[in-house]
Amino acid sequence: MSKTPSRLKTASNPFQTAWRTPHGLPPFAKITADHYWPAFKDALSQHKAEIAAIGANEKKPTFQNTIVALEKSGEALNKVADVFFNLSSSDTSPALQEIERKLAPVLAQHSNTIQLDQKLFRRIEDLYERRDALKLDDEQMRLLERTYTTFVRAGAKLSAKARKRVAEINTRLAELVTAFGQNVLADEQSWRLALDGDADLAGLPQGVRDAAARTAADLKLPASHVITLSRSSVEPFLQFSARRDLREEAFKAWIKRGENGGKTDNRKIVAEIVKLRAELAKLMGYRTFADYSLDDTMAKTPDAVRGLLTQVWSAAVSRVGEEREALTALARKEGGNYTLEAWDWRYLAEKERKARYDLDESEIRPYLQLENMIDAAFDTATRLFGLKFKELKDAPRYHPDVRVWEVTTKAGEPVGVFLGDYYARPSKRSGAWMSSFRAQHKLGKGSNPVIVNVLNFARGAEGKPTLLSIDDARTLFHEFGHGLHGLLSDVTYPSLSGTNVSRDFVELPSQLYEHWLTRPEVLRRFATHYKTGRPMPESLMKRIQASRTFNQGFATAEYVASALVDMDLHALEAADGLDVGEFEKTTLSRLGMPREVVMRHRIPHFQHIMGGYAAGYYSYLWSEVMDADAFAAFEEAGDIYDRKTAARLKQHVYSAGNRRDPLEAYVAFRGRPPKVESLLRKRGFGG
């Protein structure tokens, strides 16, 4: 008997069959763009039925028939969504972008339907009000409290009219945020700086030239060397290029992403997003979106955030003044008869570092081979947490560049799978991030995590290794710290798994992990010259340590300015007629932004705050207070791999997910709350 067309369709769709692949990895080679939409439709329908059944249950609400049932629902939807959204960020295409635009409002409406469902919420609320009599363990209590809070913050307790408007706002925001991100990527893809001949390459060290040559070849462009707007391409160019005119051209293109007029201009999109968020906050009973957003974080209030940011800002601006004077004097000494501009800063700072510490980036890069830095990150995890990494050469992968490792304990017990996607390409959005194709949990048969790190390093020339800057290597360690947060997760419930923690706590595991990179114990073993194989000289390591706080005024100011602008933007009580460019200009002027420093992310391409970090870019600094203080625990123990300290860190931070309040988790590890003085010392501002 022949199969029906619907059965044929189901059988041919990888999302609607069991994955009999190594470690249950997605069968990427079998998945095409045509599979996503029907898979989403079926998964959404299934999830709706699961939610309806929970709400319609006539039995008295229990933790099992309501909260656990909710945790178990949506498995099919997660299966397709995890693959789709990972690929739409890391290896997109016009077909995927079209689906993403179509899908964004559909998923927003689906989420609204669940979180505003009154039958479902009444069951959750009933359990919450009886929570002290339910005899729940600590993790169950945490899940109940977080579930209730999530529904309340989504608007479940509002009037019917308000709930309807919340749903409309969320749907429109989903459309706008998707368009914003696609516009930034389009601007990044459309700009190239062709370099031809020695004059265009003046000042660029061989490693930067090799990467630019490889970019030209990969993009199949006629120029011999090409610079793109990927940070790992444009920043080294600004750092080393002796061509001031080309530096200016590249810098202006870099900071103008999302602000070039035409179809990809994001300014009107930003204005509408901010206006809708302000309205949403009012509906939720808050004065501003910043108040609403921060109420469910460690910081709690905008005043607490501004208190930290302002303290660091004043120290940074003061240091920028000292740095400006030094760079201006250097320019004049070299005969530069010009006013110092933003596109000069990195170039002159590199020269000043060479003069002051006998150190420049081109001297460090040959020792920081990508392969060795991956090994260093893995080795640190082995020493701290007892993990082993075995590369799987034949495992499924979504792009030929992607590498896959099986992660186990030293005893061989399975932990999860780690994917590394390290090179920049036009199909990948800029930046660096960690994500998951599958989260850890213990419900039912349980689930081991499948974690991915996505970065944007400029690939080395054909036949040569990829060499990293110290900032690139730090980014690799940072994202792997996030990766460990996902891999080491040891919780029962998916909603509490891995990085599902407070936004201003989630950067602690990643920023803390950065500390190991520049320790002599790591550099001696893994920082070896790509030509000679010799380890980095002790003298060079000492110079790197000595220069650790060099240019920190600039680095801190460009970051904190972005965080303060984010706070002010989302502290608007109304945003009718918002002129994004004028707002940014006025805010920076009021802050006293040094003229030669530009925000690390200007508003028209500030993807953090248009996405999940709205009123939350401060989080990196908030977490930095903890990471500086946390690493001091290892220093106090006299061993950066101290077993007892590492065991506490794993138990209370890396494996704990969201089982407890984040401050309680930190205190359980450290024995006390964090001290801001550690942050100020780390950045060289005293304290």
The active-site residue out of 479, 514, 558, 624 is 479
Query: Under DSSP, is residue 126 helix (H, G, I), strand (E, B) or coil?
Result: helix
The pTM for the full model equals: 0.94
| Cα(498)–Cα(147) distance, integer angstroms | 16
| Cα(660)–Cα(141) distance, integer angstroms | 9
| Cα(401)–Cα(298) distance, integer angstroms | 38
The closest of 644, 356, 633, 409 to 508, measured between CA atoms, is 633
Do the beta carbons of residue 452 and residue 435 sit within 8 Å?
A: yes
Do the beta carbons of residue 481 and residue 510 sit within 8 Å?
A: yes
Residue 3 has pLDDT above 60, yes or no: no
| Cα(505)–Cα(227) distance, integer angstroms | 35
Instruction: Catalogue all structural domains in the chain, each as residue range(s) with its CATH number.
Output: 5-157 (1.10.1370.40), 191-255 (no CATH), 262-359+551-617 (1.10.1370.10), 366-546+620-682 (1.10.1370.40)
Query: Under DSSP, is residue 405 helix (H, G, I), strand (E, B) or coil?
Result: strand
Per-residue pLDDT of 259-312, as tens digits, reads 999 999 999 999 999 999 999 999 999 999 999 999 999 999 999 999 999 999
Region at 686 (left for phi over 0; alpha for psi -120 to 50; beta for the rest):
left
Residue 8 has pLDDT above 60, yes or no: no
Q: Look up residue 225 and give its DSSP letter.
A: E
Per-residue pLDDT of 333-364, as tens digits, reads 999 889 999 999 999 999 999 999 999 888 99
Catalytic annotation on 573? Answer: no
- The residue to which tokens 């041919």 are assigned: 12
| Cα(225)–Cα(196) distance, integer angstroms | 7
Phi and psi dihedrals of 616, rounded to 5? -140, 10
Phi and psi dihedrals of 528, rounded to 5? -115, 145
Per-residue pLDDT of 134-179, as tens digits, reads 999 999 999 999 999 999 999 999 999 999 999 999 999 999 999 9
**Given this model, what pLDDT does residue 208 score?**
93
